[in-house]
Amino acid sequence: MSLIGGGMKELLKLAAERSINYLENLDQRSVAPSSAALSRLKELDKPLPDEPTEPEMVLAMLDDIGSPATVASTGGRYYGFVTGGSLPAALAANWLAGAWDQPSDMVIASPIGAKLEEVASRWLLEILSLPVGAGVGLVTGATMANFAGLAAARHAILHKLGWNVESRGLFGAPEISVIVGDEVHVSLLKALSLLGFGRDRVIRVPVDGQGRMRVDALPELSEFTIICIQAGNVNTGAFDPAPEICAAARQAGAWVHVDGAFGLWAAATPTRAQLTAGIEDADSWVLDAHKWLNVPYDSGIVVCRNEAHLRAAMSFSAAYLMIQSEHREPGLYTPEMSRRARGVELWAALLSLGRSGLADLIERSCRYASHFAEGLSAAGYQILNDVVLNQVLVSFGDGETTRKVIGALQDDGTCWCGGTVWQGHTAMRISVSSWATTENDVKQSLNAMVRLAAEHTQ
């Protein structure tokens, strides 16, 4: 009997239709969900019934109640946090991969998942100018990628000292010092805490006005040091000075870990690659594909120069798991065992864009960020950062005024931006990270920002 019997075909067509309908209407609706839509969420919150519910009914409830309650972050006018959309090929691949339902930890469990992961990983190293032959692991996001990269660092340093941290743990182990910039992302601190390094047991390096680590304030490095740098500050988009830091680390034998969740994608463009100069000399790197590569959530990437360190930190074995040593076994590079086949979407996104398409996606986002900065500045509002990438920080006056404008903009629904406090100044953050954003989206959003700001600042 075909699996697709019993109404499954109609159900899947209906799901596709409803999804298409959702995307078609995204442009006309408020980016933030309305309060009416949010208040309907309680209709989903019922006791679990004893009896089954027809799948079509399940889907209808999801779409009728769920879709209006989404944030339209996959559309062209969402500039919150750093949130990419989903490229057409990536979303389509995600649907097909959903039908495949492959666990992607072992070649034998999914030859196609493993192959696409291997190919996409190789393409990524090439396109980002990272070392050929580096180890790549596909994880949920930059938080887990930071975890995996730092676990590899921990392994490498303690291994040098004759301490097998994977079997003996950290109690009684030689000390490793961890250096971070004062602007370190919280996810990296979380990863440090999970690894037993402690989130407060770090040496913090002071930063400059853009959030970059000050080289003149670097503490002494040694071969027992991990120094974590950032490629792309979530507020300003600024990059820590990699050439100087990597040179100092190389001399001391320290490990350099790069959190480049979104900023490292700049390496894929001729016009912004200079921001990432020197970064290829690091030891481990982190990126999010669900950010600027615009694949669906969740999709993060860890890269480790010496594949063996990542594998040593992540490996496992058991007789029933049929690990074939002559193949690249995906599960030997990640904290997870069973996981979905993220390589499918990565491969699809990269193939559909090609080198020029990816460069264009990154460059276009950066250009639109500059349009925002120029437009807001021309309207008399203060831009708080050097707009070097896709991030803009704007102040509409004092903290209270800026917060009011952000609230009004979110309520207005034309677009969505969040707030932040940058070095003591309340600001609105604009992050342009989606293929779906057009020139017209920028114009429309800028008009809304200027109009609402004028209403709140007179």
Ligand X SMILES: *Cc1c(COP(=O)(O)O)cnc(C)c1O
Using CB under 6 A as the criterion, which residues of the chain lie in contact with ligand X when the complex forms?
82, 141-143, 185, 187, 230, 232, 234, 259, 261-262, 288, 300
What is the smallest separation between the CB atom of 286 and ligand X, expressed in angstroms?
7
Choose between 185 and 342: whose C-beta lies nearer to ligand X: 185
Q: Is 28 exposed, middle or buried (0-12, 13-18, 19+ CB in 10 A)?
A: exposed
Q: Is 232 or 375 the residue whose CB approaches ligand X more closely?
A: 232
Query: Which residues lie closer than 8 Å to 111 by C-beta, 6 or more apart?
Result: none
- CA torsion 85→229→276→214, rounded to 10°? 130
CB of 179 to ligand X, least distance (A): 17
Residue 186 or 203: which CB sits closer to ligand X?
186
Residue 110 corresponds to which tokens in the numbers above?
Answer: 């999914």
> Distance (Å, rounded) from C-alpha 314 to C-alpha 310?
6
Q: Which is nearer to ligand X, 191 or 254 (CB)?
A: 191
Phi and psi torsions of 446, nearest 5°: -60, -40
Closest CB 208 distance from ligand X, rounded Å:
17
Give me the least distance between CB of 236 and ligand X, in Å please.
Answer: 11
Write down the least CB distance from residue 181 to ligand X, Å: 11
Residue type, 95: W
Q: How far apart are CA 208 and CA 184, in angstroms?
A: 13
Q: Distance (Å, rounded) from C-alpha 433 to C-alpha 295? A: 12
375 vs 419, which CB is nearer to ligand X?
419
Give CA–CA dist 12/27, Å, rounded. 24
CB of 160 to ligand X, least distance (A): 27
Asked whether 318 and 121 are in contact (CB, 8 A), the reply is: no
Shortest CB 300 distance to ligand X, Å: 5
Indicate the residue among 381 and 416 with the shorter CB distance to ligand X. 416
In the three-class reduction of DSSP (H, G, I as helix; E, B as strand; rest coil), residue 301 is classed as: strand
CB of 207 to ligand X, least distance (A): 14
Query: Judged by CB, which is closer to ligand X: 262, or 372?
Result: 262
How far apart are CB 310 and ligand X at their closest, in Å? Answer: 18
Shortest separation between residue 144's beta carbon and ligand X, angstroms:
7
Is the CB of 33 or the CB of 300 nearer to ligand X?
300
Ranked by CB distance to ligand X, the top (closest) residue is 141
Q: Which is nearer to ligand X, 155 or 185 (CB)?
A: 185
Bridge partner residues of 225 (DSSP) = 177
Q: How far is Cα 397 from Cα 453, in angstroms, rounded to an integer?
A: 10
Separation CA 26–CA 100 (nearest Å): 28
How many CA atoms within 13 Å lie on the side-chain side of 399? 7
- How do strand 135-139 and strand 300-304 relate by DSSP bridges? antiparallel
- Chain centroid to CA 456: 33
Least Å distance between CB 230 and ligand X? 6
Measure the CA–CA gap between 324 and 443, rounded to whole angstroms.
Answer: 54
Nearer to ligand X, 82 or 254 (CB): 82
C-beta closer to ligand X: residue 234 or 275:
234
Closest CA to 273 of 398, 373, 140, 366: 366
Q: 188: exposed, middle or buried (C-beta count within 10 Å: 0-12, 13-18, 19+)?
A: buried
- What's the count of helices (H) and strands (E) in the chain, helices before strands? 13, 11
User: For 439, how many CA atoms within 13 A lie in the half-sphere containing its CB?
Assistant: 0
Report the candidate in 263, 259, 216 with the shortest Cα–Cα distance to residue 388.
Answer: 263
